[in-house]
Amino acid sequence: MLAKRKMSLTELSERVGITIANLSVLKSGKARAIRFSTLEAICKELNCKPGDILDFENEF
């Protein structure tokens, strides 16, 4: 979504108020949880729905 919106991680970080380090963890898929308020803020800035940026991976 960042590429589609031609937005850098740094720009998203500034707009949403989340550190680049935390956004990097989310982007890499290594995050184990995300607050709904954080997800909402990211989706508002990227003009997307949660399903556009989240993916489910079965651990089994």
Domain-located, residue 43 = yes
**Enclosing H/E stretch for 43:** helix 36-46
Q: State the Cα–Cα distance between residues 21 and 24, nearest whole angstrom.
A: 5
The predicted structure's pLDDT at residue 9: 94
The predicted structure's pLDDT at residue 44: 96
Domain-located, residue 16 = yes
Domain-located, residue 14 = yes
Domain-located, residue 38 = yes
**pLDDT 10s digits, 39-51:** 999 999 999 999 9
Domain-located, residue 49 = yes
Average pLDDT over residues 4-33: 93
> What does the DSSP 8-state code read for residue 5?
T
**Do residues 9 and 23 lie in contact, with contact meaning Cβ atoms separated by under 8 Å?**
yes
Domain-located, residue 1 = no
Domain-located, residue 32 = yes
> What does the DSSP 8-state code read for residue 32?
S
Domain-located, residue 2 = no
Please indicate, yes or no, whether the overall pTM of this predicted structure exceeds 0.75. Answer: yes
Question: Looking at the 3D structure of the chain, how many domains does it have?
Answer: 1
State the residue range of the domain holding 49. Answer: 9-53
